[in-house]
Amino acid sequence: MKILKLFFLILLIFFFNNVAAQDKPAYRIFTGEGRKADYGDMLKEVSKADVIFFGELHDNPIAHWLEFEMTKNLFDMKGKELVLAAEMFETDNQMLIDEYFSGIIKESSFESEVRLWNNYKTNYKLLLDFAKNNGLKFIATNIPRRYASVVNSGGFEALQEISPEGLKYIVPLPIEYDPELPCYKDMLSMGSSIGGPMAQKVSENLPKAQAIKDATMANSIVKYRQPEQTVIHYNGSYHSERYMGIIWYLNKYSPGLKVATITTVLQDETDKMDEKSKGKADFVIVVPASMTRTYR
């Protein structure tokens, strides 16, 4: 009986020791080729760029945390030469951001008038406040959503109906558009899943609406960035993955800029990077698929 109890005790100790020895990392970082890296490697490399694209999953807390940590570290390195920019704020809100930063309007007025995302207070307010408190420029880069909707409904031609005042908030027209770019071509399958006679029209316009966003964001970065400045741009990962989307337009509007990219992916296992993620960015942050979400 004593031998049996001793056996179970040893088995129990082995079990708990084995469980305790299993690490549960919240994320792992890999290079675009799939080699293991760490945060220090990533920070060192991206800090050499003129423009850094941090591709997030909008509801992923790890991506948001690392965005904030990287912003703080870049500020330690770059000081006032660091500029923050984000997809989450639209170009016609730039004046409101500037007025809020300068103290002309109160925070309550700012938040009531800007079209804030649902997760602004948990994810993007930290970045905005960091820029404000440290005297940094914060660029609202995205096209006003009403104009993206215009393109989604009527294509680029529909933008001709917008007033000259409205066109100030959009990239200068006409924009170059390549429907064969994989980032836009892949979106056609989303539109083709819609039935009825409108399917083809929706299919054609959906990637165009994405393109007008990408082009406007690229134009906004070029418009506000000064020589010697480093811009960190926060955007959904799809906008900058595989060096397409915003980056394709950025290379058109300001060729020669040194660009660094980061993207975020979910995987069931994080010990190694999935083959399908290779080449998505200079650095890939792999987060467990079971990670909690900031909002739904």
Start-to-end Cα distance in the chain: 55
* Residue 20 token pair: 């305790």
The Cα–Cα gap between 224 and 246 comes to 15
Per-residue pLDDT tens digits of the chain, which is 296 residues long: 555 454 454 544 444 454 445 678 999 999 999 999 999 999 999 999 999 999 999 999 999 999 999 999 999 999 999 999 999 999 999 999 999 999 999 999 999 999 999 999 999 999 999 999 999 999 999 999 999 999 999 999 999 999 999 999 999 999 999 999 999 999 887 655 445 554 555 578 999 999 999 999 999 999 999 999 999 999 999 999 999 999 999 999 999 999 999 999 999 999 999 999 999 999 999 999 999 998 76
Query: DSSP secondary structure string, 33-84?
Result: TS-EE-HHHHHHHHTT-SEEEEEE-TT-HHHHHHHHHHHHHHHHHHGGGEEE
What are the residue ranges spanned by the domains of the chain? Answer: 28-288
pTM: 0.90
Measured between alpha carbons, how far is residue 162 from residues 199, 201, 207 in Å? 25, 21, 20
Residues 6+ apart with CB under 8 A from 164: none
- Predicted local distance difference test score (pLDDT) of residue 189: 75
Answer whether CATH 1.10.357.10 is correct for domain 28-288: no
β pairing state of 36-37 and 28-31:
antiparallel
The Cα–Cα gap between 183 and 238 comes to 8
